[in-house]
Amino acid sequence: MSEIPTILPVRYVLEVNPQSIDSPLEQKAVLAMQASALRGSEVFVEANDRLIAVADQLRLAPTLTYEDLVHRNPIDDGPYVMTSDPETAEHEGRFYLATRNIEQGLEAAIGALTIGEPEAAGSHLVQINRHAGGLFRNLSPKAFANFSEYFDGLNGHPGASGLFSASFPILDLLSNGGQNIDETERARILTDIDRGLYPSHQTTQLRELLLSDGHVIDMPVSVEAEISGLLNTFRAVHLKMYNKFLPEGDAGSGGVENVEPYLRSKMVKEKTYLENVALESLQPATV
């Protein structure tokens, strides 16, 4: 477990009082986690009604979202988790922390690109690949199976899934013009933005990039190739994670059918050697 960063003690979300939370977005995250943890119980309807009421006020999806788990979960203060078993809960908290660290690296790369420093963006992507490699090697498949069952959607919406990370399509649109985002995918993303499924602090930038042309950042061809290669490497590791942690044929919580072909389709300028990326070359990030 040493390659997944150390966290503060986790907090069982059913023991959290949502009314004690000042941030509306964090409160919605707690309510979504509570409703997901209570699915199938006698008190689910009450919890779900509270979730729907707050989500409607915020114009967010009344379901557990990627934003809830990664961006609105107060991870540095001790992440909220949905499992009460201590060993599983530790893995759950570490999963959120590693994913949050990946998102922070992706957002740093986006920031570097937008100010014209593509080489710095590449450095941030190297770091996120190290986080991904550590997560792949050290997360328990058994523990993941135990807590990921809560990721399924509520109220007719998909659940929490990396499909709804805004950072990857933003980076694709900035670095290569979104050549791996076809028109059907663009329409799906715009619809899911309107449904409140993408992280709210990134939706304006993502929408503007999807609806406009000519926003590719000017950079040397060699640097563009490096960035595409680093994104491809992450996606190759992500594909390995899917095959390791999810049952064969599982559509995941995002609801995408044929997940493996979908993940392969996201690789830019397909480089087949990346399909067999050597995970041992992705040294764990230091923390």
Calpha distance 287→280 (Å, rounded):
18
Structure tokens at 169: 């399509």
- Give me the pLDDT at residue 216, please: 83
Is there a contact between 64 and 159 (Cβ–Cβ < 8 Å)?
yes
Structure tokens at 179: 């050549």
Architecture of the domain made up of 11-281? Up-down Bundle (1.20)
In percent, the amount of the chain with pLDDT more than 90 equals 73
- Give me the pLDDT at residue 125, please: 96
| 6 pLDDT above the threshold of 70 | no
| 137 pLDDT above the threshold of 80 | yes
State the average pLDDT over residues 120-136: 94
30 or 241, greater pLDDT:
30
pLDDT in tens, 44-91: 999 999 999 999 999 999 999 999 999 999 999 999 999 999 999 999
Q: Would you place residue 205 in the very low, low, confident or very high pLDDT band (cuts 50, 70, 90)?
A: very high
pLDDT in tens, 158-192: 999 999 999 999 999 999 899 999 999 999 999 99
Calpha distance 167→105 (Å, rounded):
10
Strand partners, 12: 81
Q: Would you list the domain boundaries of the chain?
A: 11-281
Calpha distance 202→132 (Å, rounded):
22
Model confidence, pTM: 0.89
Which residue is associated with the tokens 């409703």? Answer: 35
The angle subtended at Cα 278 by Cα 276 and Cα 282, nearest 5°, is: 135
- Give me the pLDDT at residue 203, please: 97
93 or 248, greater pLDDT:
93
